[in-house]
Structure 1
Amino acid sequence: MTDQLDTPVLDNHLHLDPRHGRGLEAVRDFVRLGGTHLLVVNKPSWLLGVEVDEPASFRPVFEETMETVAAATDLLPGRAWPVLGVHPGLISRLVDERGFDPDAARDLMCGGIDVAASFVEEGRALALKSGRPHYEVSSAVWDASNGVIRHAFARGADLDCAVQLHTEASEELTDLAELAESVGLDRGRVVKHYAAGELAGPVPSVMSERDRLERAARSGEPFLMETDFVDDPDRPGAVLGPKTVPRRVRWLLEEGYEAAVHRAHVETPAAVYGIDTEATFDA
């Protein structure tokens, strides 16, 4: 039995891993609590057993994500969309563990972004994912990571698609918004995943904790909601579970934030991704 809410309910960033994790059972949990739409981000390549050595190495990771998204869509009152790209932590694996120099790692990761972009160009994926490490790295690795982001922004501009970012924790990322605009991508199509309640620069995809959400709701600014559910059996309590977004939507409605819920689940998805969650919502 589904505890349906009278609104689309979108989790903007989570991972699903039917091979190793809960997979579609997590989707069923989301739906049972009232969830309707998902943006499913591919897991880091190495967590799916893929050690990349050329851009084409990313393709099986993306294809597996596509299959998972199709299966999730069959279970949802709305639908799921894939977000494809290269996890920024890959640069450390390449440089620290496999002997790549930072520029070579950058070039390989940019090639992975190009493969992801081909899925967007074909209409199979919705958006790209990129970023930079959220931990201390050398200046060479930092510069190389920003080079990958710049490439992702350029491809997003080419394809008129959004780019989700994994970055350091910050409420001030105007440097990245300006970088996007320097290559022709509107900052309103740049999303920082795992965001706090307010953010200068990109659009915040707010982790669905009550204090963060209340700040976002009160701000009056565009925002999205997410769990960053990792679907990793070795990290069962990591980040937030798939039931969280519908639960927090219910809480926001109870607290009188109806306009904020509409902003996060209808207006902002339309502005950032060009998707209509109401038109794809089969109540």
Structure 2
Amino acid sequence: MKENRLLRAVGGIRMNLDTPVLDNHLHLDPDHGQGLDAVADFANVGGTHLLVVNKPSWTLGVEVEDADDFRVAFETTIDVVAEATEVLDGRAWPVLGVHPGLVTHLTDRGFSPEAAGELMRSGLDVAAEYVSSGAALALKSGRPHYEVGDEVWEASNAALRHALALGAEHDCAVQLHTEATDDLTEVAEWAEERGLPAHRVVKHYAGGRLAGPTPSVMSEKDRLETAAEAGEPFLMETDFIDDPDRPGAVLGPKTVPRRVRWLLENGHDEAVRRAHVETPAQVYGIDTDSG
């Protein structure tokens, strides 16, 4: 039954790269974006597994006022992940949390930095409920990658630290959206202090090397070559945003499978296994080899 749905979704036989292929961080918008068409594009060129991160609440037209307002983005993601799994040879998992840029949207609306941080922490609490029930795999948090004032920075770091504590409490990984850097040892120390192993903290949109957490490397050839040659655990991602108003933003859903093929053609078989089998197992406890 699933095989027939697969063939209908992609319009024919799909490419097989003889390895699991995981995009560790992308977004799907089934109502306004490509949605399952993007999943089919990914699968058609050899992609097998996805970690789908909820889109920021404001991009879905939701101006959050209380914790329950975050559920719209979370449940939209959970629903589209279930549909995506029907399209994939492997499966998809939801990653739920609060985008760090929300702090600016809230303070622009009149929230104090302290109140904005409190609301963001309450949203993370709701996301953790889904992890606890088994409906989501991991949490998402972070801090602004742009210049902010001291009060906003501290409120953001307080939310980040709360996410790390929730990760420890619920035994799950935490993906982070942060400033561009190759050193997040301080954040890794915060995680360890709260009982979350540093390798279960993942920096989304990472370069090829990172001190502290596990890097989720943007799938550009130079970054991937650096990561492959480093011999350290890493993941691959596109940060596909599925926004029709920003059609060329970040990387498209076909990119990770195509970069995997490129890595294999250039003799980086061990790096491919590290990024798509070994590191996902270490970080998330998932088995991409078995489906």
Q: Tell me the TM-score normalised to structure 1 length.
A: 0.98
Give 2:114's aligned amino acid: D
Report the CA distance between 1:181 and its aligned residue: 0.9
Give 2:228's aligned amino acid: A
Alignment of 1:125-144 (within 5 A): 125-144=136-155
- What does residue 29 of structure 1 align with? 41
- What does residue 158 of structure 1 align with? 169
1-side partners of 2:75 and 2:256: how far apart?
A: 26
- What does residue 86 of structure 1 align with? 98
Out of 156, 165, 179, the residue aligned to residue 168 of structure 1 is: 179
Deviations 1:93-149 (A, max 9, x none): 101x21111111111000000000000000010000000000000010000000000
Report the CA distance between 1:182 and its aligned residue: 1.2
Residues 1:46 and 2:52 are matched in the alignment: no
Report the CA distance between 1:47 and its aligned residue: 0.4
Alignment of 1:1-283 (within 5 A): 1-95=13-107, 97-280=108-291
1-side partners of 2:37 and 2:220: how far apart?
A: 23
Deviations 1:67-99 (A, max 9, x none): 00000000000000000000000000101x211
Give 2:45's aligned amino acid: L
Report the CA distance between 1:240 and its aligned residue: 0.2
2-side partners of 1:254 and 1:189: how far apart?
A: 30
Report the CA distance between 1:186 and its aligned residue: 0.5
Deviations 1:34-78 (A, max 9, x none): 000000000000001110000111011101110000000000000
Give 1:256's aligned amino acid: G
2-side partners of 1:200 and 1:126: how far apart?
A: 24
* C-alpha RMSD over aligned residues: 0.5
Deviations 1:169-218 (A, max 9, x none): 00011111011111111101000000000000110000000000000000
1-side partners of 2:63 and 2:116: how far apart?
A: 13
2-side partners of 1:99 and 1:18: how far apart?
A: 31
Unaligned stretches of 5+ residues in structure 1? none
SS at match of 1:199: coil
1-side partners of 2:31 and 2:16: how far apart?
A: 29
1-side partners of 2:71 and 2:105: how far apart?
A: 19
SS at match of 1:262: helix
The number of residue pairs the alignment matches comes to: 279
1-side partners of 2:142 and 2:227: how far apart?
A: 22
